[in-house]
Structure 1
Amino acid sequence: MQYIRYIKKYLVFIGFLSSHLYSFAGSYEDFFKAVQFDDVRTVQSLLQRGFDPNTVNPAGMPGLMIAVREPSLKVAQLLASWPKVKTEVRNDKDESVLMLAALKGYLPLVKQLVENNADVNKTGWTPLHYAASGGHVSIVEFLLENSAYIDAESPNGSTPLMMAAMYGSPESVKVLIQAGADLNIKNQLGLTALDFAVRGNRQNAKELIETGLARLAARKAKS
């Protein structure tokens, strides 16, 4: 009899476990499908039922990263604000969610990520590099207001100003210069921000940097 009771309990446990696993599998598929299609209601419902917001897909990518990549901005905003979500996640190129949001110009999402402890000053390429490359002035200003290091150096020593000079907008170059970016820094190839502007054939950026350099020279001459 005791053996039979044991078997019954074991079967009940196996049934419960199977039901739980089946439920998780369904939720897993529903979650990533909802992320892909920016179905914020389904994602919110799953999270409220206890689904882990940091669950990764078969490629090892969490929902927040996928939402920014798609883009699924309503879902991204929800996940970025959700308690216990890991905002400081990276892809295989060492790009953070904040970097991708900054590159694409998603200011509300950038603000939410920073509020939820995303790293403004990660080592290597930074969110400010990416915001400058995209020419997104409002994001450049926001990151600087939140202690982003203006002369952060990439792995090859390039700065946000260099990225703005070659890829960004004249407005982003102007904002960085006015905020005190160093115009004379050289990267590992010996290139300055002015060199980047010339190589990128960015005449407006070139003129802004030349004006900044002239002002620096004039101040130095007076001192």
Structure 2
Amino acid sequence: MPISRSMTRLCVGGLAGLLAAACCHAGAAQPPTEKQVSSFFRAVQMDDASTVRKMVGTVVNANELNPLGGEPALVLAIREGAKEVVQDLLAHPGTDLERKAVNGNTALMMAAFKRDGDTTRALLDKGARVNQAGWTALHYAAASGDDKIAQLLIARGAQVDALSPRATGAVTPLMMAAREGQDAMVRLLLAKGAKPGLKNTEGFTAAQLAKQAGHDKLSELLGGR
């Protein structure tokens, strides 16, 4: 389930780990010290754009993962609402829009969950991927109930019946919206062709998930009894 029920997974080792480390530090003269990394991510979190501009790409690679929380700078900045830093990182040529946090979150997912329409659009305009295996930005928009972001994602090709990983129930955005009681979102997804009859790995439909969460009227809208 997105964010509040975090899905931690990180598997890097052997040669793959060496390659990932080399990639993370590419563009910097030498690997940053622990203190420099800490200062960089503190600046990101505090929306200290001046410090971020001085360090990114020279001292710390834009795609370095924060040792505290495992998020790349762009994901962290979006989560913290650090608007100036977000703009600078989007303008920086070395920023990988698809760089994931250790729990699998991408910048687009975070922007959708935080109901940040401007950043969502900026990411899409720069080529951020709408669809991927597992959790997608539309799942996050459905859970948070932001209709405008959901409409934008769907207009850019988001799969309305995308499935989360089986380990997390193989739920669709419609199921997320139903469980969270997002009436307007449920209506939007149905209008866009979402299939209410799909079941998660436990055999529950969106209507049944809404019923379990106490959203009886929403369950009826979805065909439940």
Q: Which TM bucket (shorter chain)?
A: 0.7 to 0.9
Would the alpha carbon gap of residues 170 and 124 (structure 1) be closer, same or farther in structure 2, given more than 3 Å must change?
same
Question: Could you tell me the percent identity over the aligned residues?
Answer: 36
Would the alpha carbon gap of residues 113 and 94 (structure 1) be closer, same or farther in structure 2, given more than 3 Å must change?
same
Structure number with higher relative contact order (C-alpha < 8 Å, ≥ 6 residues apart): 2
- 2:97 corresponds in structure 1 to 87
Asked whether the 8 Å contact 1:110–1:139 carries over to 2, the reply is yes
Would the alpha carbon gap of residues 203 and 41 (structure 1) be closer, same or farther in structure 2, given more than 3 Å must change?
farther
- 2:45 corresponds in structure 1 to 36
Alignment of 1:6-25 (within 5 A): none
Deviation at 1:36, TM superposition (A): 1.5
5+ long unaligned stretches in structure 2: 1-28
Higher deviation after alignment, 33-42 or 54-63: 54-63
5+ long unaligned stretches in structure 1: 1-19, 214-223
Higher deviation after alignment, 152-161 or 138-147: 152-161
Query: C-alpha deviations, 1:19-77, integer Å up to 9, x for none?
Result: x879x658655432321211223323444878632233345532112212333233123
Would the alpha carbon gap of residues 134 and 50 (structure 1) be closer, same or farther in structure 2, given more than 3 Å must change?
same
Superposed CA RMSD: 2.6
Would the alpha carbon gap of residues 208 and 82 (structure 1) be closer, same or farther in structure 2, given more than 3 Å must change?
farther
1:167 aligned onto 2:177: no
Deviation at 1:131, TM superposition (A): 0.7
Inter-partner Cα distance in structure 1 for 2:208 and 2:145: 18
Alignment of 1:73-112 (within 5 A): 73-112=83-122
Inter-partner Cα distance in structure 2 for 1:167 and 1:43: 36
**Secondary structure of 2:222's match?**
helix
Q: Which of the numbers 177, 196, 201 marks the counterpart of 2:209?
A: 196
Would the alpha carbon gap of residues 204 and 36 (structure 1) be closer, same or farther in structure 2, given more than 3 Å must change?
same
Inter-partner Cα distance in structure 2 for 1:162 and 1:136: 15
TM-score where L is the length of structure 1: 0.74
**Secondary structure of 1:69's match?**
helix
